[in-house]
Amino acid sequence: MIRNIFISKYGILLASQSFTNCQSIDTNKDLLSNFFTAIQKFSIVVTGNSINYLDFEKLLVYLYEDPNDKSLLYILFTDIDDNPIDINFKMHKIADLFYKKYRQFIKKFKGDISPFQTFENILIKMGLVLQPCGEHSTCNNCSKNKNQSAILSISKNNVTKVHSKIFKLENEKHNLVI
């Protein structure tokens, strides 16, 4: 099941949505968007290839650059046992829908993300994602959430500093500056 979707342009989060209350990503979504965009750009610069997915043992993170606009990155968090062919189909469908619906806003993007906030409803209506279950008021009580919260969270015992300005794209060639 698709748990979360992030859509970013040059690392700026345009739209994000959790489709399950039990296993939603509970961290700074802007930071994650920047992080995955930086990893994707780094992979392209170093290897010449983009990353298709990252395996986090109980969670897969799919990355997809829009062929219509390489500055758009679709980031999907899914269960590890999801059918990759099904996820790939949905990911391409989501990208196609998003680009067609918001093309005029994407091309003229100056930082206003409000036009993109209706995308969740389209995905639910089309059956590409499920609506949050709402079974429990907190994720801790949900049997579906066992051992999931540690996947993308920082332990209180570790001291980790992350700067929110991970990278800067200098020009249309997308030179990575760290």
Instruction: Give the global pTM.
Output: 0.71
- Predicted confidence at residue 32, as pLDDT, reads 87
Least confident of 22-26, 48-52, 66-70: 22-26
pLDDT of 174 higher than 80: no
Average pLDDT for the chain: 75
pLDDT of 106 higher than 70: yes
Q: Looking at domain 2-144+151-177, which of 3.30.450.70, 3.40.50.150, 2.60.40.1180, 3.90.1200.10 is its CATH number? A: 3.30.450.70
Mean pLDDT of 100-116: 93
Confidence of residue 79 (pLDDT cuts 50, 70, 90): confident
38 within 8 A of 22, measured Cβ to Cβ = no
Beta-carbon neighbour count of residue 73 at 10 Å? 25
128-132 long-range contacts (CB < 8 A, ≥24 apart) are 128/2, 128/90, 128/93, 128/94, 129/2, 129/5, 129/17, 129/19, 129/90, 130/1, 130/2, 130/19, 130/20, 131/19, 132/18, 132/19, 132/20, 132/21, 132/24
pLDDT of 39 higher than 90: yes
